[in-house]
Structure 1
Amino acid sequence: MRLKQIVEVPLHDDSPHLFLTFETGEVLFIWGHDDKYESWQLGFSNTSIDDGDWEIVACPNDGLAICGPEDIVGNI
């Protein structure tokens, strides 16, 4: 999967179940619900200072924590 391009990343409406759809049409489903633990985390690090780094975490009890550039995250 390392070299496959991701073309869509939707989240489930009720729980942060993650769906990664690749250019081949394959889908990777990652369970996003747990009462005690983080289910998954996804990060992106960019070498460009303008774009910044991103981190998204599926928190216990169906929450999401989003860390990224303030001008974007502050508007979510």
Structure 2
Amino acid sequence: MNKEDHQLARKLLTTYLTGTQLSTIHLASFVSLDFINLYDAMNPEISLRIETDRLYYGDVESSKDWVVRHMTKEEMLHLIVTLHTERITGVRIGKTIPHLFLTFSSGKTLVVNGSDTYYESWTVDLRLNAEATASIVAVPGDELAVFASDNALFQDRVTD
């Protein structure tokens, strides 16, 4: 995985997703989640598009044998709806495989599989305004791609 893309993605996701909570669920051939930060009016519009059916939800820190597994659409929706009142307290991306780890206020972590041979497993879109946009995508081949506008507004708020 490209080290620079991984670092930029980690910084963007940590800066903007931490403190948010689920606000809207959209269903299509994929699941799209919109997030809101009730405590930061400057936070961008954030959406997570999940195109994989392989997820894990639980305690990844103390459990060494956790594994992402296939979930039915009904199981995914039930899990996602139960998360709507929780805030995201931590975000990370796997080092060798771009699994997305979202830790919630309950202490449990949602892991979205980032590994697929043929399709993009997940995408996070950030939009501060019409000029400042970024997309972080788990692409086929266990890679991560970051597409960001040249606008410096993101860089002003991103922390190390």
TM-score by shorter chain over 0.5: yes
CA shift digits 1:20-64 (9 cap, x unpaired): 0012212101111011111111112224x68x2221100000111
Q: Supply the distance in 1 between the matched residues of 2:101 and 2:113 (Cα, whole angstroms).
A: 9
Q: Which residue of 1 aligns with 2:109?
A: 27
Return 5+ residue gaps in structure 2 as ranges. 1-82, 156-160
Q: Partner amino acid for 2:133?
A: D
Q: TM-score, normalised by structure 1?
A: 0.74
Whichever structure has more helix as a proportion of its residues is 2
- With a CA cutoff of 8 Å and minimum separation of 6, indicate the structure with the bigger relative contact order: 2
Return 5+ residue gaps in structure 1 as ranges. none
Q: Report the identity percentage.
A: 34
In terms of Rg, which structure is larger? Answer: 2
The residue correspondences of 1:1-76 to structure 2 (distance < 5 A) are: 1-47=83-129, 52-70=132-150, 71=152, 72=155
Q: CA RMSD in A?
A: 2.0
Q: TM-score, normalised by structure 2?
A: 0.39
